[in-house]
Amino acid sequence: MAKRPSKHLRPARPLNQGGFARLVTKPDGEWMVQTMPAGNATKAYLCPGCQRQITAGAAHVVVWPRQASIGSGSAVAERRHWHTSCWARSN
Ligand SMILES: [Zn+2]
């Protein structure tokens, strides 16, 4: 077996998309949350909260784990786009 890499020690960095990520602690872990203003939302995404589309041009939030999952290259690569209201309702 390969040695388990210590990637979970790597600190989270904010995305460079304007604004700063804030740390949110939820029952399932610590998450970095960054708001995506409408002007920066140029693509449509599928919201994991409701399985519906976040339309381009709609302000929403981008969420990723503070610590990368085991086996994941980086925490930021695990980011997900959520409707602001869906994220607020989760947990
Ligand atoms: Zn949603």
Dist CA 32 CA 15 (whole Å)? 10
Residue 47 Cα to ligand 1 midpoint, Å, equals 5
Q: What range does the domain containing 46 cover? A: 20-89
pLDDT in tens, 1-10: 556 655 555 5
Q: Is the pLDDT of residue 35 over 80?
A: yes
Asked if the structure places residue 32 within a domain, the reply is yes
Is residue 13 included in any domain, yes or no?
A: no
Asked if residue 37 belongs to a domain, the reply is: yes
**Number of compact structural domains in the chain:** 1
**Does a structural domain hold residue 15?**
no
Ligand 1 mean position to 86 CA, how many Å? 5
Between 4 and 48, the higher pLDDT residue: 48
Is residue 8 domain-resident? Answer: no
Q: Are 66 and 30 in contact (CB under 8 A)?
A: yes
User: Taking the model in full, what pTM does it have?
Assistant: 0.74
Task: Report whether 41 contacts 62 (CB < 8 A).
Answer: no
Q: What is the pLDDT of residue 63?
A: 95
pLDDT for the residue numbered 13:
56
> How far does residue 60's CA lie from ligand 1's centre (Å)?
9
* 11 Cα: distance to centroid of ligand 1 (angstroms): 28
